[in-house]
Chain A
């Protein structure tokens, strides 16, 4: 597959790099719309499994809703992560990208943004619909969606580091899960905690602020770590 846009038009620079990678990855992702649909379907199926496993008692489901919806989001995020680098790595494009004049962290940020726009964001927007099945209402739904909108980019950012570290390894997906899930724990705690706080009638401001803070920190740190990891994998 030739990609004429591989040669950057300008001389390099961080924001043009982000834009370039974002455009490219979005274009590539939108070529296989089926893949995007599959991920949303995966999320839906996992969420549906829980009531099937635990029983349909409304009070129980209402209590479990935040945890289930968030854990399912984590797992769906894990499923889509290898896609971030693996295809480019396999056909040698990643090496070309690393050699380009754009800073690698910027390019990776663009890739992660594209990844989130096609996985985490739709998932966050779908979640209130699924949450209705668990009896969540009104502001609880809003907090769930907002929390996922704030949290899923962080999942993509941290996941990118894991995906870069495990590039090309046989163990692949399971190893990625083992590496990344401990790092996901704070996001899970604050995201689900936000919905729980709303259910309890307290505000979700603290949890959502913490999610926002985590996003900022990851937004700065993760592309740097992922760039280092990509270079390590390419050497």
Chain B
């Protein structure tokens, strides 16, 4: 067999992925902390005030990365779901299972910070604009996925059912976003102009990008720890899991 092919699938089993996940968790956690440190320094201390929004705009350094990550994690989760159905692979399903709570958390952060930015920037905590409304619906999609998993006792049925749900969801996300945009442009009557993101000086962009990468690496780190927990939970009756946990006690 081609040795490159063998290498690729080497980590496809929970048992062999488990130690790799542990190492990845540490590396990405450190990287996330460093990037966040620099990003926050640039964003909160070095970057100047905005002409229109004063210092309130500084919320974007968490709001925008959180919103990006909430969508990105859903895509990655759906990709793992597709793989789990195609290859009937347990580990792929476990990765999707591990990603969902983090994705949901980013959605909550995006909504919360968006509301707190909305008040000073355009006068109201919640303006039913297209992006925030779509973000809220994305939260429902995450929670639905997690609720379905929780409701099914058999892990393999839960894997497959929630995978189908996630794929149906991912196909619908652009449709939902488009329809909410449509709805918003029709009903924008009395309220507010929501194109109020400040013109970005380079340093603001840099800070935002650093925070985006920090969020991404943080998500990887947390997901790696969570998938290790899930692997141990689901594989606990195997010899390697017992040996590992026994030695670790």
The DSSP consensus for interface residues of chain A is helix
Contacts of B137 in A (CB 8 A): 182, 185
Contacts of A197 in B (CB 8 A): 186
Asked if B165 and A169 sit within 8 Å, CB to CB, the answer is no
User: Contact size class for B?
Assistant: 20 to 34
Asked if A190 and B179 sit within 8 Å, CB to CB, the answer is yes
Contacts of A183 in B (CB 8 A): 168-169, 172, 176
Across the interface, B151 reaches (CB within 8 A) one of A166, A186, A196, A228, namely: A166
Closest Cβ neighbor of B186 among chain A residues = A193
Closest Cβ neighbor of B138 among chain A residues = A182
Asked if A232 and B161 sit within 8 Å, CB to CB, the answer is yes
Say yes or no for A175: interface residue by CB 8 A criterion.
Answer: yes
In the bound complex, what is the Cα–Cα distance between A225 and B166 (angstroms)? 11
Interface residues of B in 150-184 (CB under 8 A from A): 151-152, 157, 160-161, 164-165, 167-169, 171-172, 175-176, 178-180, 182-183
Give the distance to chain B from A117, nearest Cβ to Cβ, in Å.
24
Q: A179-B148, A225-B164 are in contact. Are A196 and B175 (CB under 8 A)?
A: no
In the bound complex, what is the Cα–Cα distance between A170 and B153 (angstroms)? 10
Asked if B148 and A232 sit within 8 Å, CB to CB, the answer is no
In the bound complex, what is the Cα–Cα distance between A59 and B150 (angstroms)? 45
The DSSP consensus for interface residues of chain B is helix
Say yes or no for A161: interface residue by CB 8 A criterion.
Answer: yes
Contacts of B178 in A (CB 8 A): 186
Say yes or no for A171: interface residue by CB 8 A criterion.
Answer: yes
Contacts of A186 in B (CB 8 A): 172, 175-176, 178-179
Asked if A232 and B160 sit within 8 Å, CB to CB, the answer is yes
Asked if A185 and B151 sit within 8 Å, CB to CB, the answer is no
In the bound complex, what is the Cα–Cα distance between A161 and B140 (angstroms)? 17
Across the interface, A169 reaches (CB within 8 A) one of B140, B152, B160, B171, namely: B152
Asked if A189 and B161 sit within 8 Å, CB to CB, the answer is no
In the bound complex, what is the Cα–Cα distance between A178 and B137 (angstroms)? 11
Closest Cβ neighbor of A214 among chain B residues = B175
Asked if A182 and B144 sit within 8 Å, CB to CB, the answer is yes
Across the interface, A179 reaches (CB within 8 A) one of B144, B171, B179, namely: B144
Q: A161-B168, A170-B151, A193-B186 are in contact. Are A178 and B179 (CB under 8 A)?
A: no
Asked if B168 and A175 sit within 8 Å, CB to CB, the answer is no
Interface residues of B in 92-110 (CB under 8 A from A): none
Asked if A179 and B165 sit within 8 Å, CB to CB, the answer is yes
Give the distance to chain A from B168, nearest Cβ to Cβ, in Å.
6
Say yes or no for A26: interface residue by CB 8 A criterion.
Answer: no
Give the distance to chain A from B130, nearest Cβ to Cβ, in Å.
11
Asked if B140 and A182 sit within 8 Å, CB to CB, the answer is yes
**Mask: chain A, 197-231; 1 = CB below 8 Å from B; 0 = not:** 10000000000000000100000010001001100
In the bound complex, what is the Cα–Cα distance between A28 and B167 (angstroms)? 32
8 A-B residue pairs with CB within 8 Å: A165-B148, A166-B148, A178-B144, A182-B176, A185-B179, A186-B178, A197-B186, A235-B157
A residues whose Cβ falls under 8 Å from a Cβ of B: 161, 165-166, 169-171, 175, 178-179, 181-183, 185-186, 189-190, 193, 196-197, 214, 221, 225, 228-229, 232-233, 235
Q: Which 9 A-B pairs have the closest CB atoms?
A: A186-B179, A232-B160, A189-B179, A171-B151, A179-B144, A189-B183, A182-B140, A169-B151, A178-B144
